[in-house]
Chains A and B, each alone.
Chain A
Amino acid sequence: MISPATETELAEAVASAKGPLRIMGGGTRPIGKPVAGQVLSTRGLSGIELYEPGALTIVVKAGTPVAEVESALAAENQRLPFEPMDHRGLLGTEGDPTIGGVAAANVSGPRRIQAGACRDYMLGVRFVDGTGTVVKNGGRVMKNVTGYDLVKLMAGSYGTLGVLSEVSLKVLPQTDTQATLMIHNLSDSHAVQAMSAALGSPYEVTAAAHTPFSMMGDRAMTMLRLEGFEQSVKYRTDQLKDVLASFGDITVEDDPDKSAAIWKASRDVMGFKQAEGDVWRISVKPTDAPDIAAKLTDTKIFYDWGGGLIWALVTQGTDVRAALNEFDGHATLIRASEETRHQMAVFHPEPAPVAMISKGLRDRFDPNNILNTGLMA
């Protein structure tokens, strides 16, 4: 294992690599095609470089544990707004997730539907491309359109275009309190309607999920989160109850800790943790979701993002993409055996002209094809 302690060492390691490299942060998110090669760990690049709570910005080295970032933010009553998922439970991995891994996989959680994805909060990056060249893009300010936005390109590129060495993030204040509204026993399509009504209201719903199976009780349950100052959450709870009255009885979890626990479990898809089978993550137009789910037989479904994100637990080796054919969206295989991931496209196949652009970019950023070779193929 190569474990550079500085960005310069990282650049040298990549420049002098004799063969493919497997880029690893915390190693908690083994997503993608299995990759061969020598492990290049970013864990030696660790630490918060700069944190300005009054400017809502933090700059961290890529190998910094997410927990360290989160506790520094919590001390100033701030947080990562995109609520990054912790994959350890679902994937059965161990270790400390790093901020570089979050950025490279564009990991977001339930709040994505309202606040935006990890990529939306990434202000700047430093990375080493496949030739060992150090590149910076973006910066540490909230508004920046100077040159092309390679920050977005790096977000979700899973280390195939470059090895991140530093990430700047926009952060937001922690909210005072939260509450979760729950509607029971809705069909999938009614649930999506209810979530659409809630998300289309002025009451700033910060998460909307639906579980058709027993995850936290033994019935289907639709969950909506409100966050903010206490009075405001109370007010919006009442308003939202009115908006959703026609969907059925609504119960409210207004204990903030219990509400937070619901969303932590949703964020980490804990309902699939113990269950056997492959896990897919499907991004679609919310109102298409129930129709797509209906096409997936023998499948357990969990809807997040108002229906726009389908988590599907399927029998090993099943390709869910046939169900998506006539619909807009994409499916990623998140959990499966190495064998299945070898056989099946993990990332959604792109139409030819788009695939050509992606390939063109990979050829330019990693001309020797050594960074996580084939991971996104």
Chain B
Amino acid sequence: MEMPVPDTTILSKKARIVERLLQVLPKTAVIHDEAETKAYECDALTAYKCPPLAAVLPSTTEEVAAVLKICHQENVPVVPRGAGTSLAGGALPTADSVILGTARMNQVLETDYDNRFIRVQTGRTNLSVTGAVEEEDFFYAPDPSSQLACAIAGNIAMNSGGAHCLKYGVTTNNLLGVKMVMIDGTIVDIGGAHLDAGGLDLLGVICGSEGQLGVVTEATLRILRKPEGARPVLMGFNDNEVAGACVADIIKAGVLPVAIEFMDRPCIEACEAFARAGYPMCEALLIVEVEGSDAEIDEQLSVIMDIARKHNPVELREAKDADEAGRIWLGRKSAFGAMGQINDYMCLDGTIPVSSLPYVLKRIGEMSKDYGLDVANVFHAGDGNMHPLILFNANEPGQLELCEKLGADILRLCVEAGGCLTGEHGVGIEKRDLMFDQFSGDDLEAQMAVKDVFDPKWLLNPAKVFPLSASQSRRVQPVAAE
């Protein structure tokens, strides 16, 4: 993956930059020793690493503003960082950049059950937001699998989703407002505890902008009352196509499950070997979960199981109790771990129209054969968000490159099928160079125009999202005299 050549003028004034940062932050909040900056050299896309010039860990919005003001004056690129769990390289530094981490900003600022929102500092982890309102039986809906570790900061930047977003939506649908620091240090409040924008929907474009428009320090999030209960049913089919048709029929029938998860044979086998959840050996497995009171769940599941029966399942298993429900989810939840046991893997994230599921799965199977790399599929079937996992051996020279090539081909296939490159992980560096496969130059120009407005010098996370060739003239600007 190509990254811009570090700016030597910035590298050469490191001492001065560090000194200025130390003037506005406590000593422990400025990390500049080479041994220590290594801790920030990558995110969860570990194939790419580069220690930053320095890393800062401010504790307040004002400190963030002071840091950004300095970086803006010194023309130093800034890479915002939450918990560093991005799978797209969103938080990958360059050698001439300052990492701005929100880890120390993790306070709950306000909880309001009457108005159903919580206001937090964005370094707080996703799961601990729910943790803060659980005693009142409320929860924060978006639930990425990484929720124990990932921060609200990263969730907002990536517009993260989760297994339950079929019913509750993704981050952008649950975000009411932000406090954000612009690159020149200006602090802005956008949105709040009320609904919708009074003017242009800036909140909507900030969410999912991958740390390129500003540093988000506080968030107002919608919280919801927990449903009375939830119960999954497991169904196995001997044909991907039939499983896909079953998903479409369930959706058409008017029941809206909270989750419909899909696993194919390679994935079922790996999970079974790893977690022994008691999954049937078949071509495709669906886990469908519904919510409500016991009686409501019975009613919905009976509709769903009737539909499933029409598709001749090889297995149809309703959870009778919490223990059985746990076992149905066990395999799915350990899918990534199971894959990690067997091999190195690369996790893709394209989305396709649900109707093209069988075709896309068939093509992925063929491509996998051509490349000689195994691919296991596990994904959110209700919304078409696929997670093909390409298995490879990182220690074998050339395998990473081969794997990336297959990954790119699969993502192009998603686009051809009417879908997109990424459903929830973001573009980062990983899919940056595929953007022209989904967008025209004009489409990208319109997006980059937004960055021009928020960050005219292109200092915030500049080498991400847009192909380097497309952003070149904006990133490398003649440095104006200060």
Contacts and interface: CB of A to CB of B under 8 A. Distances in A.
B199 A347 contact: yes
Given A54-B248, A235-B293, A285-B193, A332 B198 contact: yes
Nearest to A156: B201
Contacts of B138: 200
Contacts of B452: 360, 364
A145 B205 contact: no
A143 B442 contact: no
A106 B196 contact: yes
B383 A117 contact: no
Given A55-B355, A129-B446, A140-B418, A152 B205 contact: yes
Given A148-B205, A148-B208, A365 B446 contact: yes
Highest count of chain B CB atoms <10 Å: which of A108, A116, A146, A155:
A146
5 contacts: A133-B445, A147-B438, A148-B208, A196-B113, A283-B195
Interface stretch (B184-192, B269-277, B474-482): B184-192
The 5 closest A-B pairs by CB, nearest first: A152-B204, A330-B198, A54-B248, A348-B198, A143-B423
Contacts of A151: 204
Interface string B249-281: 101111110000000000000000000000000
Contacts of B355: 52, 54-55
Nearest to B452: A364
A80 B419 CA distance: 22
Contacts of B247: 54
Given A146-B427, A232-B292, A193 B170 contact: no
A52 B252 CA distance: 10
B296 A231 contact: yes
A192 B424 CA distance: 36
Contact of B199 (A53, A140, A348): A348
A284 B226 CA distance: 24
B254 A141 contact: no
B199 A308 contact: no
Nearest to B190: A354
Interface string B420-456: 1111111100010001001110111111011111100
A286 B115 contact: yes
Interface stretch (A63-71, A90-98, A171-179): A171-179
Given A52-B354, A231-B296, A360-B452, 17 more contacts: A57-B353, A139-B420, A141-B419, A143-B351, A145-B423, A149-B172, A149-B209, A150-B446, A153-B202, A173-B256, A285-B194, A287-B115, A328-B193, A329-B194, A350-B198, A361-B453, A365-B446
A52 B114 CA distance: 38
Majority SS at the chain A contact face = mixed
Contacts of B454: 357, 360
A229 B253 CA distance: 12
Contact of B173 (A120, A129, A202, A357): A120
A145 B192 contact: no
Contact of A287 (B114, B256, B292): B114
Contacts of A332: 198
Contact of B202 (A117, A134, A354): A354
Interface in A42-81: 52-57, 76-77
A137 interface: yes
A286 B112 CA distance: 11
Interface stretch (B5-13, B158-166, B366-374): B158-166
A117 B195 contact: yes
B81 to A, nearest CB: 18
A144 B161 CA distance: 10
Contacts of A172: 256
Contacts of B251: 53-56, 173
B375 interface: no
Interface string A343-377: 00001101101100110110011000000000010
Nearest to B201: A152
B201 A119 contact: yes
B383 to A, nearest CB: 4
Contact of A136 (B196, B439, B451): B439
A156 B196 CA distance: 9
B450 A150 contact: yes
A287 B249 CA distance: 42
B225 interface: yes
B169 interface: yes
A146 B431 contact: yes
B450 A199 contact: no
A53 B161 CA distance: 23
A135 interface: yes
Contacts of A364: 449-450, 452-453
Given A141-B352, A143-B170, A174-B254, A149 B159 contact: yes
A129 B445 CA distance: 12
